[in-house]
Structure 1
C-alpha cells in the first residue's frame, strides 16, 4: 500500500529529482520517504498537496517579489523561490559565486556586484528583502583573526561590519512588507551583546519593523551541526510564530544519505566520481604526508589540553560545521575509509548535498572555489522551512497593499 508521500507524488506527477531540487533535500532522502522509511517533512507534503491540486509552482502563480542581497550561490533564495516568490534583484560581489549563481538561476535581471556602490533608487520595489549579510566580523574565528592583525571588528570594521547598514538603508527607503536576514550564531554575543542590540534597535525602533529571531541548527535537516541565527521582520503586525516551524529530530539524517555510494546506483560525475560504479576519485584521499601532519597536529593540541584536531567521521555519523576553509586540508570533515586507507575529503558534490542542494545544482567552478562557496552557504532546507512559515504573512501584507492601491 502506498504511503501518503508516494500517493501525492504520483498525483502531482513530479519526479523525485525535481522535487528534491525544489525542497532542498537529497533525492536519496525522498526515496526513503517513498519506501516508507521515516516520516516525510510537512514542507514536502504541503508542496505535493499543492502540486496535486494543479498549482504549477506549489504555491500558485508568483505571489510576491523579492531581492537577494549578499546572495552567495543562492541558498536562501531557493526557499523563497519554492513558495512562489519572484526574484527581481540580486547582489553578490564575489566573481566566482556570481558564476555559480548565474549557472543555476536564469533571471531576466542583471546580477549586480557590491551593494555599497548601488544607490537605493537603482533597486526595484519589492515585497521581501533577503540578506545573508557578511558574518566574519561577528564570528569567533573572524574576531580572532582581526584581533591578531590589530584590526577592529563588528560595526567598527569599515569593510564588512557596516554592511548591515546597507541592508538598513534599503529597508528604510523601499519599505518592503517583510525581510529575512541570516548570520552566524555568535552575532548575538559579539561585543557582549551590544552589536546585536544595535541591529535589533535599528530594525525595530528606527525602521519600525516587528522582529523575531531564532538560532536554528541545520542538524534538524542535514547531517551537519550548523547553527545560524535567522532574523525575520514584518512591516505590520502579523501572527508570526517560530512555533510553526516543523523541525525534525536532530541527527535523523546521517552522512550516508549524502555520500557517494560507489556501487553503480548513481552516474559518475566529472572528476568527482569515476567508472561504472561511480567510485570517489582517489584525489580526494589524503596523502600520507597530510594525514601524518593532521594526526601530529591533533596530538600536540590534545597534550596541551586544547580541543583542536580533525573530525574523522563514518557514514553513520553527523559532521561538524563545513567551513569556507575546507579547501585547505578538509580537516573538519574527514570520511573514514577503514584502518588501512587514509581518510578522504568530501567531494564538492557531497558538500552540495551536505548543504541541502539537489544533484541538479550546477558546480561550474574549481574544487577550491566550490569548497569556499558551500562552506559560506546556508543549509537550504532550513530556509525553505523559514520561508514556508513566512509565506502566509507575506501574502496577507502583499494582498492588503494591493487592495489599498486599488481603492
Structure 2
C-alpha cells in the first residue's frame, strides 16, 4: 500500500501531464477529494480524468464498473491502495450520512461530523495556510474560493455545514470597519456576501439540514436587519430556521458565545437544541506544565498594556488587558490573539505574564491532542481564533444526526 502523500503526488503530477488544460490551482483538491470519495461527483473532475486516476492506482475500468453495479460506496474505498496511518483523522470506512464543509478553516466541523459517522464529500477554504493544516489532519486539500465553483458541481449531501466568515458581523470587525470608513455586514463585498453562496448551494442541492455558525453579534447587527435577511432567505427556500446563542464554557474552558443556526428541510417544526449547561471549566485545566520562555511577553509590551488599560478605564472605552483568572474560563480567543495576547495573559510568578501556546489554544477549542498544528505561532493563533468550539458543534450535531436517523423519508 502507498502512503497518502505518495499517491497524492503521483496522481497530481500524472493528471497535470496528461490533462494540461485542467484547473491547475485546484488539482490537489481534485485528487484528494477523489482519494476520499472516488464514486462521488467532484468539481473539475471529468470522466476521462476519473478513469485515468483509477488506472494510475492499478484498478481497471472494467473492475470499477462491475463493483459499482452491486456494491456500496465503502467497497470503492477498499479498492484504493492507500495507507492513511499518517493522517490523524482519515475517512471512515462506513458512513451513515454525507456532509459538506464550507469555509472549512482547519476542520472543526469535520472532526465532529466525521466522528458521528459522516462522510465529507466536499470541503472549501480559501486561506492557503488553513488548507495546509486541513490536509495534514484529514488527508484532503479543500477547494479554494467557493465563489468560483458552480453549485451544480457540488456533490449531493445530507448536511451543509458552514461557519461563514464572521469578521463583517463581529463587534471588533464592525468597529474596525467603522473606524476605517469601510463597509461591514452584507455591504462587505469580499466576505459579507458569502452567505449568498451558501444560499445558491442550498437552492440547487437541497440538503436535508443546514448547520451554520457565526458570532453572537450577527443577531443584532444593523438593528437585526442582517439576521432577518438570513432567516427570511432560508425560510423562503422551504426550511425551518432555528437559532440559539450558546456559551461554550461548560464544555471547554473558554467563554465563547456563538450563534448556532439549524435549518431543516420541509418542516415548520423548530429544531430542538441540546441543553448545554453546567459550571464553567477553569482555564488552568488546559495549561501546559512546561512552556518555552519565548511565550513570555516583553516588559515593553506589558507596560504598554498596563498603561493603555489604565487610560481606557478612566475614559470608559477601549480595550483592557489583565492577567487571566486561572480558576475561570478564558476570554474569547480571537484571530488577532497572536498580535499581543491581550485577550488572555497567563500570570507567572516573578515574571511578566505569558501568552497561551498554540496547543493551549487548540485545547480551548476542544481539538484532540492528536490534531497536528502545522504553522508558525501567529498563523496558528489566527487559525484557532477563527475556529469553532468542537464540543459544542458535536453536541448539536448529535441532535442533528438523531433527527436524520429518525426521519429518513420526511426531511
Report the TM range for the smaller structure's normalisation.
0.7 to 0.9
- Check the 8 A contact 2:263/2:271 in 1, yes or no: no
**Aligned-pair CA distance for 1:142:** 1.1
> Please, which of 279, 285, 291 is the counterpart of residue 257 of structure 1?
285
The corresponding residue for 2:232 is 201
Q: Secondary structure at the match of 1:372?
A: helix
The corresponding residue for 1:100 is 133
Output the CA distance in 2 between the equivalents of 1:325 and 1:222: 20
Output the CA distance in 2 between the equivalents of 1:291 and 1:101: 34
- Check the 8 A contact 1:238/1:393 in 2, yes or no: no
| Deviation beyond 4 Å, 4+ runs, structure 1 | 238-241
Output the CA distance in 2 between the equivalents of 1:307 and 1:223: 25
State the TM-score, normalizing by the size of structure 2.
0.75
The corresponding residue for 2:321 is 310
- Check the 8 A contact 1:298/1:310 in 2, yes or no: yes
The corresponding residue for 1:393 is 403
> Please, which of 137, 160, 167 is the counterpart of residue 129 of structure 1?
160
Output the CA distance in 2 between the equivalents of 1:250 and 1:120: 43
The corresponding residue for 1:373 is 383
**Aligned-pair CA distance for 1:395:** 2.4
Output the CA distance in 1 between the equivalents of 2:410 and 2:94: 18
- Check the 8 A contact 1:212/1:232 in 2, yes or no: yes
The corresponding residue for 1:237 is 267
Output the CA distance in 1 between the equivalents of 2:326 and 2:145: 40
Output the CA distance in 2 between the equivalents of 1:119 and 1:330: 40
Map residues 5-404 of structure 1 onto 2, 5 A cutoff.
Answer: 61-107=94-140, 110-205=141-236, 207-237=237-267, 241-242=271-272, 245-251=274-280, 253-260=281-288, 262=289, 279-306=290-317, 308-338=319-349, 340-397=350-407, 399-400=408-409
Output the CA distance in 2 between the equivalents of 1:60 and 1:111: 20
State the TM-score, normalizing by the size of structure 1.
0.76
Q: Secondary structure at the match of 2:241?
A: strand
Which structure carries more relative contact order (alpha carbon 8 Å, separation 6+)?
1
Q: Secondary structure at the match of 1:297?
A: helix
- CA deviation vs aligned residue, 1:74-120 (integer Å, no higher than 9, x gap): 1112111121110000000000000111111124xx52001011111
**Aligned-pair CA distance for 1:61:** 3.6
- CA deviation vs aligned residue, 1:169-218 (integer Å, no higher than 9, x gap): 0000000111100110000111100110000000002x110121101111
Output the CA distance in 2 between the equivalents of 1:143 and 1:323: 14
- Check the 8 A contact 1:240/1:390 in 2, yes or no: no
Output the CA distance in 2 between the equivalents of 1:359 and 1:170: 34
- CA deviation vs aligned residue, 1:15-59 (integer Å, no higher than 9, x gap): xxxxxxxxxxxxxxxxxxxxxxxxxxxxxxxxxxxxxxxxxx9x9
Q: Secondary structure at the match of 1:152?
A: coil
Output the CA distance in 2 between the equivalents of 1:314 and 1:259: 12
Output the CA distance in 1 between the equivalents of 2:320 and 2:314: 11
Output the CA distance in 1 between the equivalents of 2:409 and 2:119: 19
**Aligned-pair CA distance for 1:311:** 3.4
- Check the 8 A contact 2:98/2:157 in 1, yes or no: yes
Output the CA distance in 1 between the equivalents of 2:264 and 2:130: 29
The corresponding residue for 1:44 is none
**Aligned-pair CA distance for 1:248:** 3.3
Does the C-alpha gap of structure 1 residues 83 and 239 become closer, same or farther in structure 2, counting only changes over 3 Å?
farther
Unaligned runs of 5+ in 1: 1-56, 263-278, 403-407
Output the CA distance in 1 between the equivalents of 2:276 and 2:364: 17
Unaligned runs of 5+ in 2: 1-89
Output the CA distance in 2 between the equivalents of 1:380 and 1:80: 10
- Check the 8 A contact 2:214/2:260 in 1, yes or no: yes
Q: Secondary structure at the match of 1:138?
A: coil
Q: Secondary structure at the match of 2:229?
A: helix
**What is the CA RMSD across the aligned residues, in angstroms?**
2.0
**Aligned-pair CA distance for 1:149:** 2.0
- The number of residue pairs the alignment matches comes to 321
